[in-house]
Amino acid sequence: MKTILLSSLAKVFKDTEPNFNEFTSFSCLKNEKFSFQLALLAENAEETSVTFEIDSDIKNNISAYIVKNIPFRRNKKHNYDSFHYDLNRKEFPDLLEPTENSVELKANEWTSIWFEFKGDSSVTGEQLIRITVNSDGKAIEKAFTLNIIDRVLPKQELLYTNWFHNDCLCTYYKAEVFSEKYWKIVENYIRNAAEHGVNMLLTPVFTPPLDTEVGGERPTVQLVKVIKENNEYSFDFTNFRRYVKLCLDCGIEAFEISHFFTQWGAKHAPKIMATVNGREKRIFGWETKASGKPYRAFLEAFASAFKKEVEELGIKDRCWLHVSDEPSESQIKEYKKAADIIHELFADFNMLDALSDIKYYKNGLIKTPVCGEGEADVFRAEVKDFWTYYCCTQINHFLPNRMFAQPSLRNRVLGVLLYKYDARGFLQWGHNFWYSQYSIKPINPFKVTDAGGSFPAGDSYMVYPGKDGKPLNSLRHLVFFDAFQDLRALRLLESLTSRKYVLSLIEQGLDIPLSFRTYPHEQEWLLNLRKKVNKEIEKI
């Protein structure tokens, strides 16, 4: 049997021997999560049944997972750059399946065991982790040394939202919205998201008008109950209050209120359900003109009630409002009509929208624009509070992203870039989007990884649906969290030295200044950078 220890940045393909130096030691801070891998190759059928044991003083803090391959289909309409793995592959390693101490291998196929250490601030110093692999009556011992530095990562200040799709949870688990089954499942997934850096959650005050076919609708997950009697509106915030409390209990700190107008131009109202004379019905939707009097009157009534509610809950300053997602240059006129209403009714609220035309900001239509990474340099030079996002289109120009076919370095490097650009927030649209594009039909994320042939595999979700309403992680999910840990480590070093010092450390040895389009493509560069940062923190 062949074995090799690898960093979390390696992707292990079943038909390819890993081409990396053995990874046998590293360091982390004492409240940090740290991952590494053990790749295995059974060279004959007798070696395929494997057990393993962990011997370490910190073994109770270590979880093990089998890295499972998930199907991949190349979408020909996308313009992939050269910083991808072979796009003709039929599957990629992604799913992390929990295991106690065993793994079934296939002869002559590489498999990886993923080990995750979760620091609890109680242990410091060098910790030896011995892993003994038993197969066919033989034992192979591998040793990894983790130096746990007696410092803690500071709190994550950057706001990170990865759009949380309540309706996908209801659909997959066949859970009635707002049933006790629903609330338990939602808690499991929110808690997992918060544990991996998400501290701002999409909150469906009304059913989010996102990725919805024109004329179609997504399942109703509206948190605020609307009652209409004699053309007067009243609101029941019971479910909203429960959602907010659940989020706070799970570690969420900010609430991204769902968009008040439809995507791509703000031309219509979102789907809004109401009890009208005792009967539940849809009162607004695709047929509703965004700036028309009926919807304006509704928003006026809602704004008054909502402002009072969030003041009582003490979360007003933690709420962020949306007008419409991703309006284009040609849609400024329609967007302005909608934005004027929201600015008037919610004048002292935080507001943000994903858009990549700087004119929206320069014309005063948006307080906090969230630009695509490709426009980061333009927006960083103009905007006071810089936010950025990526989605299906950031697969060229070497822009950081998290797709199946991309090296994990491209996923994790984002943390260093967010530090250099002094970003205040990051947004991505698909934490658990398990529908086809435009939410036309549900998909099985274990088999369909590209939203029904529409997006690059990996764009639309970071977690898989596990049993008992609990999520299963992807390796992309854990690597992305490492990016945020890198960011926090850089912030810590800055507090001990200066921002100028940390930036010089990052740029050390680079021929071209670091940017979203220009960064070294070797995993050793990023690992060595983090190693230098840790050494500086430990020394100081």
Tell how strand 272-276 and strand 225-229 pair up: parallel
Tokens (6 digits) for 454: 């529409």
Tens-place pLDDT, residues 247-273? 999 999 999 999 999 999 899 999 999
Question: Do residues 434 and 452 touch, judged by C-beta distance below 8 A?
Answer: no
Rounded Cα distance between 138 and 161, Å, is 47
Among 351, 366, 381, the domain boundary falls at 366
| All residues at 6 or more sequence positions from 266 whose CB lies less than 8 Å from its CB, including other chains | 290, 323, 324, 327, 331, 334, 335, 337, 338, 339
> Identity (one letter) of the amino acid at 330?
S
Sign of CA dihedral 514, 391, 521, 95: positive
294 occurs within a structural domain = yes
505 occurs within a structural domain = no
Are 21 and 132 within one domain?
Answer: yes
359 occurs within a structural domain = yes
Mean pLDDT for the chain?
97
Are 283 and 142 within one domain?
Answer: no
CATH number at residue 136: 2.60.40.10
Tens-place pLDDT, residues 460-491? 999 999 999 999 999 999 999 999 999 999 99
Question: Do residues 167 and 218 touch, judged by C-beta distance below 8 A?
Answer: yes
Rounded Cα distance between 379 and 66, Å, is 41
Rounded Cα distance between 524 and 408, Å, is 12
389 occurs within a structural domain = no
Domain that holds residue 30: 2-153
Are 61 and 137 within one domain?
Answer: yes
Total structural domains within the chain: 2
Sign of CA dihedral 339, 340, 344, 348: positive
Are 14 and 149 within one domain?
Answer: yes
Question: Do residues 462 and 471 touch, judged by C-beta distance below 8 A?
Answer: no
35 occurs within a structural domain = yes
Tens-place pLDDT, residues 175-231? 999 999 999 999 999 999 999 999 999 999 999 999 999 999 999 999 999 999 988
Tokens (6 digits) for 205: 């005050």
Range 428-452 burial, b when 16+ CB lie within 10 A, else e:
bbbbbbbbbbebbebbebeebbbbe
What pLDDT shows up at residue 82? 97
318 occurs within a structural domain = yes
Are 224 and 149 within one domain?
Answer: no
307 occurs within a structural domain = yes
Ramachandran area for residue 230 (φ above 0: left; ψ -120 to 50: alpha; else beta): left
Are 132 and 41 within one domain?
Answer: yes
168 occurs within a structural domain = no
Share of the chain above pLDDT 70, in %: 100
Q: Residue written as tokens 């507090």? A: 495
Are 7 and 145 within one domain?
Answer: yes
Are 87 and 229 within one domain?
Answer: no
| pLDDT tops 90 at residue 85 | yes
Among 366, 383, 404, the domain boundary falls at 366
| pLDDT tops 90 at residue 155 | yes
**In the 8-state DSSP scheme, what is residue 316?**
G
Are 360 and 226 within one domain?
Answer: yes
Are 99 and 9 within one domain?
Answer: yes
Among 336, 351, 366, the domain boundary falls at 366
Are 101 and 233 within one domain?
Answer: no
Coil, helix or strand at residue 114: strand
Q: What mean pLDDT comes out for the span 339-358?
A: 97
pTM over 0.95: yes
What pLDDT shows up at residue 75? 79
Tokens (6 digits) for 290: 């965004």
Question: Do residues 249 and 198 touch, judged by C-beta distance below 8 A?
Answer: no
| pLDDT tops 90 at residue 437 | yes
| All residues at 6 or more sequence positions from 477 whose CB lies less than 8 Å from its CB, including other chains | 196, 462, 463
CA nearest neighbour of 389 among 356, 359, 364: 356
Q: What mean pLDDT comes out for the span 351-371?
A: 97
| pLDDT tops 80 at residue 76 | no
Rounded Cα distance between 409 and 417, Å, is 12
pLDDT category, 309, cuts 50, 70, 90?
very high
| pLDDT tops 90 at residue 77 | no
Range 186-215 burial, b when 16+ CB lie within 10 A, else e:
bebbbbbbbebbbbbbbbbbbbbbbbbeee
Q: How many CB atoms lie within 10 A of CB 344?
A: 12
Tens-place pLDDT, residues 18-37? 999 999 999 999 999 999 99
Are 139 and 233 within one domain?
Answer: no
> Identity (one letter) of the amino acid at 2?
K
CA nearest neighbour of 427 among 374, 387, 385, 473: 387
Rounded Cα distance between 469 and 108, Å, is 35
Tens-place pLDDT, residues 97-132? 999 999 999 999 999 999 999 999 899 999 999 999
Coil, helix or strand at residue 288: coil
> Identity (one letter) of the amino acid at 427?
L
